């Protein structure tokens, strides 16, 4: 194997190594975009479109896709199907770039072996409550951070920063939001280098 570059900090090194494992499993090149929709089946997750869900009232649907839409991004259902797969529902309003991060987090929970701690009601409404699996706070951080690292790996991120790419250009390359790239720049302590490269003008 060629040298692996890891970010500073034990916790972030661990997240990075696990994320590299996911990328290796997906067979994706070290600087290429990872498609979590292709990886989902290996995590026994079945991504179902919101429109396929039956039994949601007109009011609940209007709430979840209207005024409540910013309050949820998606989640895995608590009850597995007979074949062991779990259904994941993603907010159809959020666009592919945000959805990639949400789905990657769910995949991380599975690959990292997290056990849901309890059931949690995701959306407040009287008629069509959406039940999601809830994890312990440490597991949430690990799943999100590892998922983000799988989508935007440190080595390639560092190289793109040194080449002078903007966060938006990097985001487009990895098919993620600019916010996710900037989160990765901060947690991997590349933010100072990035800012220095883009501060003039
Ligand atoms: Zn989670």
**pLDDT values of the chain reduced to their tens digit, one per residue, 201 residues:** 456 789 999 999 999 999 999 999 999 999 999 999 999 999 999 998 787 778 888 888 888 888 888 888 888 877 788 998 988 989 888 889 999 999 999 999 999 998 876 555 554 445 555 555 567 889 999 999 999 999 999 999 999 999 999 999 999 999 999 999 999 999 999 999 999 999 865
Q: Ligand 1 centre from 70 Cα, in Å? A: 16
Edge-first strand order for the sheet with 74-76 is: 45-48, 86-90, 74-76
State in Å: Cα 178 to ligand 1 middle.
20
Judged by DSSP in three states, 48 sits in: strand
* Ligand 1 midpoint to CA 67 (Å): 22
CA of 109 to the centre of ligand 1 (A): 7
Give me the pLDDT at residue 155, please: 97
Which residues does residue 133 pair with via DSSP β-bridges, in sequence order? 119
Query: What is residue 36's three-state secondary structure?
Result: helix
Q: Are 183 and 147 in contact (CB under 8 A)?
A: no
In the reported structure, the alpha carbon of residue 200 is separated from the centroid of ligand 1 by a whole-number distance in angstroms of 38
pLDDT of residue 77: 77
pLDDT at 133: 55
Q: If you measure from the C-alpha of residue 193 to the centroid of ligand 1, how many angstroms do you get, rounded to a whole number?
A: 30
């Amino acid at each position: 194997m060629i040298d692996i570059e890891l970010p500073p900090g034990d916790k972030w090194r661990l997240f990075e190594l696990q994320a590299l494992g996911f990328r290796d499993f997906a067979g994706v090149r070290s600087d290429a975009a990872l498609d979590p929709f292709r990886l989902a089946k290996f995590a026994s997750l079945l991504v179902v479109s919101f429109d396929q869900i039956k039994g949601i009232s007109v009011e609940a649907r209007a709430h979840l896709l209207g005024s409540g839409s910013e309050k949820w991004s998606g989640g895995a259902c608590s009850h597995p199907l007979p074949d062991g797969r779990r259904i994941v529902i993603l907010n159809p309003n959020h666009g592919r770039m945000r959805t990639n991060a949400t789905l990657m987090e769910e995949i991380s929970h599975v690959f990292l072996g997290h056990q849901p701690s309890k059931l949690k009601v995701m959306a407040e409404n009287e008629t069509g409550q959406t039940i999601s699996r809830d994890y312990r706070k440490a597991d949430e951080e690990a799943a999100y951070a590892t998922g983000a690292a799988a989508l935007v790996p440190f080595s390639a991120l560092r190289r793109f920063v040194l080449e002078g790419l903007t966060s938006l250009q990097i985001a487009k390359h990895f098919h993620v939001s600019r916010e996710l790239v900037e989160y990765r720049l901060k947690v991997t302590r590349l933010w100072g280098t990035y800012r220095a490269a883009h501060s003039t003008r």
